[in-house]
A and B are shown apart, each in its own frame.
Chain A
Amino acid sequence: MKDHVLVSIRLLVVFTLLLGIAYPAGVWAVGRVAFPAAASGSFVSRDGKVVGSALIGQGAASPGLFRTRPSAAGGGYDATASGGSNLGPTSKALADRVVAEAAKARTENPGATAPVPADAVTASGSGLDPHVSPGFALWQVPRVAKESGLPAADLEAMVSRRTERRFLGLFGEPRINVLLLNLDVLARRGASRPPSP
């Protein structure tokens, strides 16, 4: 028994150094050299200031911009408390939220005609979903056009340019990164209007 204990302790120390320290440090070094932007968080800047991570969704309520999905992470898009609502399929609370979000989405987007997109009324698993479906993005175009003063056709073109396809044509779903799309919108608004003093 003494033998089992001694070998266990010695091996735990050896493996802690190899697997717990050297291995993550090695991966970190590869990241620094080969993929510095991706490995450090995929942050995006606007006018030299970091405005978010391309991978981490953020609440978007400003007029003239595209909205993200409802979020159950903390008070909404709280990256220190990632997670979903965990409400079940027969949850009254969930059904009520879906009805409320659908009503809100319809009021906000009076120009939209199609049924309310599913991702507009549901919270993601992470609460930090950076994407919306093409359906939800296009659904918002009439509102964004009206609020931003940009032509709807231009916005539709931006949405289509930002649409990411399925991997190998099969895996995943088509999607639009809302932060990147909103940055496109802001850039266009900046170009078409003189900057405010």
Chain B
Amino acid sequence: MTALAFLKIAVFFLLVLAVTKPLGLYMRRVFSGEKTFLDPVLGPLERLVYRLGGVDAKKEQDWKAYAASLIVFSVLGVLGVYAVERLQALLPLNPDRLPAVPPALAWNTAISFVTNTNWQAYVGEATMSHLTQMAALALHNFLSAATGIAIAVAVIRGISRAESKTLGNFWVDLTRSTLWVLLPLSLVAAIVLLSQGVVQSFSASAMITTLDGATQTIPLGPVASQEAIKMLGTNGGGFFNANSAHPYENPTPATNLLEMLLIFAIPAGLTYTLGSMTGKLRHGWAVFGAMSLLFLAGAGVTAWAETRGNPIHHAAGVDAAAGNMEGKEVRFGPGDTALFATVTTAASCGAVNGMHDSFTPLGGLVPLVNIQLGEVIFGGVGAGLYGVFVFVVLSVFIAGLMVGRTPEYLGKKIEGAEVKLAMLSVLVLTFCILVGTAAAVTTKDGLSSLANAGPHGLSEALYAFTSAAGNNGSAFAGLNANTNFYNVLLGLSMFFGRFLMIVPILGMAGSLAAKKRQAESAGTFPVDGPLFTLLLSGVILVVGALTFFPVLSLGPVVEHLLMAAGRAF
């Protein structure tokens, strides 16, 4: 079983590798304004969007204007989602007559979807009307993903341009990501999902009488359209409470494979876009290599832990060969569920096809660590690339310190300002996670929401703040997050985790764009090849380990030892 799970990881990885170059090349064309085969259809639509939006597509923005557009757009987006949630009872497409979403939950959810987190403190099928799902939540699945891609493209321009004041135009990058990348791919994916049984319906719940004579109410909705962009945009917010474990969201092993590929497609492709737009293809592949190393290591550990199962249950006479099946679907089993969990947390997706809370301690450790490393293992759409950019800058800086030269990155001097901004974005994440978790485990409001006792309880709170600050959205879902304490604190973590990352990163990009390009010399530290790949993965791991090792050893590590000893709480 474990060997088969490793084979699944390998084949999946090859599929990701196969889409990286074509998609990356396509995105370069889209964002450099080159011709693509979709222009005849999308060109007129693009011009219409600019006319209706009042966008001057020719005007470029400096980093401050770019950031301001982005933040204003996001804040107004939050208000829009909040309004739709609060008013849904009065709006159309609410066949099950769901009432307005309560204020704290509506605020949390609005931030959650606009920040690409998709943390969900509610049961989708019993809380959100069809209109809220499609016109508020799925809408921001597109827009938050397009925003992420826009930032990544602005960062790439910052690296590739020299002595330039501007980074591009946010409205144009937003529109082109949406029209050329997200919408066509979502449409194709949605149709494949439909063919496999993912529902797309505007009807009220179906009431049926089962073979046993019981009544079963089956909620329906516009799921396929949302499922496609939920994965492709690394959003992760399920239509249903059970997310991609729900058979209407993810009915077959084939849809499961497609959904995992959709999560990684754009983040992997963007590494090629980075190489292509900076003229250093080998640098793009070196970054891809570092991400791949960390991904394969994590996927291997999770698959091993989950297929091995839980000795406490085996002692009760349960067949050990099937692995840990609590919280998992038979159609996926431990192998495909472990792989999905690694993918969804490496990228900042957060969709789940099994319940992470019920994973073995080490199986649950990997998703936690993936998010805590900053979601730079491919990462969220755009977010992964601009996140890894921070670590690239730190790696170049550390290499520069070791050889005693002013560090350079692709011909740009890395100076105090860039390193400070890079550290700021690392510290924001750390601060939100550790201080938030500390607040949760030392207050009554925080502790009363925990569903599990012992070290697993700490892991639940830690996972919540990790997921929120990292804009992931998956959960150790036993935690009752729909309380004022968690709705407010996690809402703030999501907001800071997104925008206090984005602003320093755009600042770095603006500062790099303004610099002169230095000629490469023999003393320049090369940012391609295996040495750089190893250095980059090392820096990512060391920063994460130094920050989170203490809390991880009190949570999942201790729990692993206790499970092996047969202790339960």
Contact = CB atoms under 8 A, between A and B. Distances in A.
Does chain A bind chain B? yes
Interface of A: 1, 4-16, 18-21, 23-24, 26-28, 30-31, 34-35, 38-43, 46, 49-62, 65, 69, 73, 77-92, 94-95, 98-99, 102, 114-119, 121-133, 135, 164, 166-167, 170-173, 175, 179, 182-183, 186
A120 to B, nearest CB: 8
Interface of B: 4, 7-8, 11, 49, 52-55, 68-69, 72-73, 76-77, 80, 123, 125-126, 134-136, 138-139, 142-143, 171, 174-175, 178, 183, 186-187, 190-191, 194-203, 205-206, 208-212, 214, 216-220, 222, 224-226, 228, 240-242, 245-248, 251-254, 256-257, 309-310, 312-313, 316-333, 335-337, 352-355, 357-361, 364, 451-456, 459-460, 476-478, 559, 562-563, 567-569
A91 B316 contact: no
B335 to A, nearest CB: 8
Given A62-B212, A182-B211, A129 B330 contact: yes
A45 to B, nearest CB: 10
A91 B448 CA distance: 17
A131 B197 CA distance: 15
A81 B126 CA distance: 7
A122 B328 contact: yes
A190 B241 CA distance: 38
Contacts of B317: 102, 115-116
A86 B319 contact: no
A85 B72 contact: no
Given A10-B52, A172-B252, 14 more contacts: A8-B77, A21-B135, A24-B226, A40-B201, A58-B211, A58-B214, A83-B355, A87-B451, A91-B456, A94-B358, A117-B318, A117-B319, A123-B327, A173-B333
Nearest to B74: A8
B365 to A, nearest CB: 11
A133 B197 contact: no
B219 A79 contact: yes
Contacts of B319: 114-118, 135
A42 B211 contact: no
A31 B76 contact: no
B331 A91 contact: no
Contacts of B568: 90-92, 94-95
B219 to A, nearest CB: 6
B318 A121 contact: yes
A81 B423 CA distance: 42
Contacts of A59: 210, 212, 214
20 contacts: A5-B76, A39-B199, A41-B220, A58-B216, A60-B212, A65-B211, A87-B478, A89-B312, A89-B361, A90-B568, A98-B316, A116-B318, A118-B322, A125-B245, A125-B337, A164-B331, A170-B4, A170-B11, A173-B333, A182-B211
Given A1-B68, A53-B218, A166-B253, A8 B73 contact: yes
Contact of B327 (A57, A82, A86, A92): A86
B357 A12 contact: no
Nearest to A76: B214
A5 B390 CA distance: 30
Contacts, number: 394
Contacts of B190: 27, 30
A53 B55 CA distance: 48
Nearest to A50: B208
A15 B245 contact: no
Contacts of B205: 79-80
Contacts of A55: 197, 247-248, 251
Given A15-B143, A30-B194, A171-B8, A118 B247 contact: no
Most A CB within 10 A of own CB, among B49, B196, B563, B568: B568
A7 B53 CA distance: 6
Contacts of A167: 252-254, 257
A129 B354 CA distance: 11
Given A55-B197, A59-B214, A83-B477, A8 B322 contact: no
Contacts of A86: 327, 355, 357-358, 451-452, 476-478
A27 B318 contact: no
A115 B240 CA distance: 34
